[in-house]
Amino acid sequence: MINLTIDGKNVTVPRGTMLLEACRLAGADIPTLCYDPELKLAGSCRMCVVEVEGRRTLAASCVTPAEEGMVVQTESEEVVEARKVILELLLARHRLDCHVCEKDGNCRLQDYCYRYGVKDSRFKGEEPHFYKDDPNPFIERDYDKCIMCTKCVRACAEITGAFAINLKNRGHEVVISTAFDGGLKDSTCVFCGQCVMVCPVGALVSKVEKGRGRDYQTEKVRTICSYCGTGCTLELKVLNDQVVGVNSVRDERLSPVNRGALCVKGRFGWDFVNSKERLTQPLVRKDGELVPVSWDEALDYTASRLKEIKERWGAGSMAVFTSARTTNEENYLAQKLARAVIGTNNVDHCARL
């Protein structure tokens, strides 16, 4: 174990711990843009710089190992000044349109500019010109807002393994791009949206969620994806009794199966819930047509017909198909209905299909 002092507090951490983690243990709120605990360290944004006594330059805490006896300041004048400069440099090529941005209120760049009072950039040159019109139906790529943290590139490679995107060009012209600079559709992209999940700003957003409500307006409900048997945890975003989006839950204690990773169906496939084609009223066939009726009518009719058939032909002439989609509780009741109420073991579902 190693002992060090952070903002006047003594902390003890295991050898090999990075300063960033040690600082957070000490209760310091270190801003980060390129850091992600699940991805390889980039150490490139330098937002996480701290002052280490006896060192000439500020240290990027995410890539600096904690050492015995270190004395660290996380919010010194010099640190704050450095962070302001970084933010100004980022703003220089970031189109500021927070008023229409999907990420408003949920954007690291906005948060840190607010925190350090950075209003504008003294480094502004020509307007950013990296926007990529990408006609895929899932992900909008507005690189005029990209701050080049490379988290999307790393998530694509290190979580999904799709290797669809990478850095292109150098210096001022550096940008995120697919192999042949085309749309995601023509790359190895599988539209998992892991890149959207990690993007700290509004450069990558879900087209399916666009305009349906800002993150802070929505209530979040943690649940399980309803598509495949993997059973990924996700969070539904709810506004005015409508599902308006899906968030990842990255905490392994809450999302043990997928730690936030999702596939195209889980992340972008929730909209059927709001479909206009949803059934909203019981229907009964009358004169050959299915017509809307009250619940009482539908239920009484169902029960009396089922009873009639049971009396006439016996329980063995009846069957229940339960569902691999509905909950355990509902499956339990469905087989109970078949066995205890109708009186048959003719109950099955499409496990085999």
Partner 1 sequence: MTNSIKDLEEEAEVIFLIGTNTTENHPVIGYKIRQNVLKRGAKLIVADPRRIELADIAEIYLPFKPGTDIVLLNAMMNVIIKEDLLDEEFIEKRTEGFEELKATVKKYTPEMAEAICGVPAEEIVKAARLYAKADKAAICYSMGVTQHSKGTDNVFAIANLAMLTGNIGKPGSGVNPLRGQNNVQGACDMGGLPDVYTGYQKVEVEENRIKFEKAWGVKLPPEKGLTLTEIINEAVKGNIKAIYIIGENPMLSDPDSRHVEEALDNLEFLVVQDIFLTETALKADVVLPGASFAEKDGTFTNTERRVQRVRKAIKPRGNAKPDWQILCEVASRMGYPMRYDSPEEIFEEIRSLTPSYAGITYERIEKSGIQWPCPHTNHLGTPILHKETFTRGLGKFHPVEYREAAEMPDEEYPLILTTGRSLYHYHTGTMTRRVAAIDQHRPHNEVEINPRTAETYNIKDGDMIKLSTRRGSIKLKAKVTENIKEGIVFTTFHFGEAAANHLTNANSLDPVAKIPEFKLAAAKIEKI
Asked if residue 162 binds ligand SF4 (CB under 6 A), the reply is: yes
Q: What torsion, rounded to 10 degrees, do the Cα atoms 244, 247, 253, 254 define?
A: 10
From the list partner 1, ligand SF4, none, partner contacted by residue 86 (C-beta under 5 to 8 A by kind):
none
Asked if residue 190 binds ligand SF4 (CB under 6 A), the reply is: yes
CA distances from 316 to 310, 313, 340, 345, 350 (A): 8, 8, 13, 8, 20
Q: How far apart are CA 124 and CA 89, in angstroms?
A: 8
CA atoms within 13 Å, Cβ hemisphere of 196: 28
From the list partner 1, ligand SF4, none, partner contacted by residue 270 (C-beta under 5 to 8 A by kind):
partner 1
Q: How far apart are CA 303 and CA 313, in angstroms?
A: 15
Asked if residue 350 binds partner 1 (CB under 8 A), the reply is: yes
- Does residue 95 contact residue 84 with C-beta atoms inside 8 Å? no
Asked if residue 37 binds partner 1 (CB under 8 A), the reply is: no
Q: Annotate each residue in 93-112 with x if it binds ligand SF4 (CB under 6 A) or - if it does not, as one string.
A: --------------------
Nearer to partner 1, 63 or 224 (CB): 224
- Sole binder of ligand SF4 in the list 35, 112, 130, 191 (CB under 6 A): 191
Neighbours of 92 (CB within 10 A): 16
Task: Supply 252's token pair.
Answer: 């392994």
Asked if residue 42 binds ligand SF4 (CB under 6 A), the reply is: no
Asked if residue 205 binds ligand SF4 (CB under 6 A), the reply is: no
- Does residue 233 contact residue 263 with C-beta atoms inside 8 Å? no
Nearer to partner 1, 71 or 283 (CB): 283
Give the residues across from 223 on adjacent strands.
234
Binding site for ligand SF4 (CB under 6 A): 139, 146-152, 155-156, 160, 162, 164-165, 176, 184, 189-195, 198-199, 201, 203-204, 225, 227-228, 230-232, 258, 262-263, 265-266
